Structure formats: structure tokens, C-alpha cells
Amino acid sequence: MKRPAICLFVWVALVGWAAPSYAKKGGGKAAAPAADDSAVADESANKTTDTGAADDKTAGDTGKADAAGAAPAPSESLEGDETQPGKVEEDLGGPKAARPTSTGSWSDIVVVPRKAFLKSGRFEFEPMAGITVNDNLIRHYVFGLDLNYFLSDVLWIGLEGQYYIHQLTNQEELVGSEYNRAPTLNKYLYGGSLNLGYAPIYGKFALFNRSILSWEIWISGGVGVTLTQVIPRDPANDNLAFKNTDLTPNVGIGSRFFLLNWLTVNFALRDYITPDHFEPLPDGNLAMPAITTSAQAKDRSQSQWVQNLVFSVGVGFYLPTKFQYKTPR
């Protein structure tokens, strides 16, 4: 009897322990659907109400869209205006919404910038200094002044004046000591000319990647006079020295760099071509009378074409100091 009693006690204990677990698993879920039936019914009613409101809202929005479609949009009213950059973008297939709504026109688009410096109708006042570069026996330092009037932006007419200071080089002394001969030389005193200039090339470049510097290359030609004086081979014959006034054509090439609206830096290389007269050579013919005056020395002088090549640097000042553009961009 003990064994059946013990087995019954164990079975009752296991059933008592498993019953709460079974109630939690199965019994709790079975009761939930019955409790949620009313909530499901309320939710279905709310959905029906919301659907009706949404239909009303959709109908109202559709009416508003129809009313708005009756009046054209402000952006569409500009489609017939060909001055609008946005119209071109639309014609090229661009997005219509990307068109600008500003009142800009083609005149506001600058493709090629204007020249930074205009010279037409202005005067140029240019002090300059230079040096001769093609004579190794005598050197001349040149100080001058240019006064130019610009007929157009590339064409001008001007007056030029020079003052010369001469200096004998070491080569002149070496020639005398080595060959026992004194070279025949003339010194330049003054000069002046009437010139016509033309600037065929204009450009600009970046200066240290910070600013734009405009420049031009010009050529010129003119005619004038040059006053020269003979340097006697024998210093004791200074009374026989004579002066020449020579007709002097010239040609030149140079460049301008534009710094301000009224200021330029100029470089030039000019060739002054002079038919000069030099001291006559000693004549071994005893029948010829001796030269005693400068006039006699000039009558017997020898003529020779001389090229006087001068490199100069000048600073140009422009009047009036300002200029105006007369043509549109």
C-alpha cells in the first residue's frame, strides 16, 4: 500500500505544479480575442470616418488645383520674352524650374572685357632717359621729352626733344695708344623730331597671379634735326671745331605698360640716322692752303651716314587723367 500511496502523492504534486503553467500559456490567450471585439469594432468605425474625411479633402484639393490651373504661373508669363536667359535654357532642354526669375537681360552678360586703358583724344607727357648702345669709342647719355597727341587709341603724332652728354670710353684711349692714331669723332649736342606712331599689338598678363597688367608694342617713324660738334684729334685745334645741323630721320620700336589710368612706363629703341660731317683728314698736298678757321675746316669736311642707336626708358603722364567709354559693351 505504501508504494501506490507514494505514487499518487507524486502524481498529484506534478499536476498541481503544471496546472498554473498551462493556465498561463493557454488560458490567457483564449480570453484576449473576446475582450478585443469591441475595440476592433470601434477602430473600423474610425477608419470609415477618416476615409470619408480624406475623400472630402481630396475633392477640395482637386478643386483648388483646377482653380489654380485657370491662371498662368508668374514664371510661365515670361516664356515669350526672348531677353530672359532662362528662356534659352528651356529651349536647350534645361529644366523649366531652374530658370532665373530676375529681370536680367543679355546686356548684363559680358563676354569680352573692355580695354583697361584708353588713349584716344588724350595727351602724353613723357620724360625719358637713355644711352647710346652701338658706338664703342664714344658714349652719349640722352635726356629728352616726348609730347604726343593720340588721334585714336592706336595712332598718335608727337614732338620729341633730346639733350646729349658725351663720354669717351676706354676703347678710344686704347686705339690711340695702340695704333698711334687719333680716331675721328663727333659729339651730339641737341636733337628734335616730329614723329608718327602706331600700336599694332595690345595684350595683358597676370602679375604674380594677383593683378592684370596691360601692355602694348608700338612702332614709330619721323624726321627731325640733330646738332653735332666735331671733337678735334689734336686738342690744340679747338678753334677749328665746327658744328653741324643735320637732317635726321628716325625709326623706333617700343612698348608701354599701363599702371594707372594716367600713368605708363615706356621702353624704346630708336635709330637716328644722321648724315654727319667730320673733321677733315690731314692733306699731304703742300699746294693746299692751311686750315686756319672752322669755316675752312667745315668746307673740307667729309660727310658720312651715322646710325645713332638709343635705348631709353620713360614715364608717361596722360592728360586728362580720366577717360570715358563711348561705345557699349
Burial 292-318 (b: 16+ CB within 10 A, else e): eebeebbeebeeeebebbbebebebeb
pLDDT at position 263 over 60: yes
The pLDDT score that the predictor gives to residue 111 is 62
How large a percentage of the chain has pLDDT more than 70? 64
The pLDDT score that the predictor gives to residue 70 is 46
User: pLDDT band for position 36 (50/70/90)?
Assistant: very low
CA distance 321 to 311: 27
| Matching residue, cell 595683358 | 204
CA distance 96 to 92: 10
pLDDT digits (tens, 9 = 90+) for 147-158: 999 999 999 999
User: pLDDT band for position 210 (50/70/90)?
Assistant: confident
CB 301 within 8 A of CB 280: yes
pLDDT at position 74 over 60: no
The pLDDT score that the predictor gives to residue 38 is 46
- Mean pLDDT value across residues 53-75: 45
- Mean pLDDT value across residues 234-255: 92
DSSP structure string for 22-80: HIIIIIHHHHHHHHHHHHHHHHHHHHHHHHHHHHHHHHHHHHHHHHHHTS--TGGGGTT
Query: Cβ contacts of residue 241 below 8 Å, gap of 6+?
Result: 229, 230, 231, 232, 279, 294, 297
- Torsion sign (Cα): 30, 35, 38, 42: negative
CA distance 308 to 191: 12
pLDDT at position 94 over 70: no
pLDDT digits (tens, 9 = 90+) for 118-131: 999 999 999 999 99
Q: Radius of gyration over alpha carbons of the chain, in Å?
A: 52
What does the H/E/C string look like for 283-325? Answer: CCCCCCCCCCCHHHHHHCCEEEEEEEEEEEEEEEEEECCCCCC
User: pLDDT band for position 300 (50/70/90)?
Assistant: confident
The pLDDT score that the predictor gives to residue 49 is 47
Domains defined for the chain, CATH in brackets? 123-283+291-319 (2.40.160.20)
Burial of 146 (0-12, 13-18, 19+ CB in 10 A): buried
CA distance 20 to 17: 7
**Which range is most confident: 6-10, 127-131, 209-213, 287-291?**
127-131
- Mean pLDDT value across residues 87-110: 58
The pLDDT score that the predictor gives to residue 77 is 43
- Mean pLDDT value across residues 232-245: 89
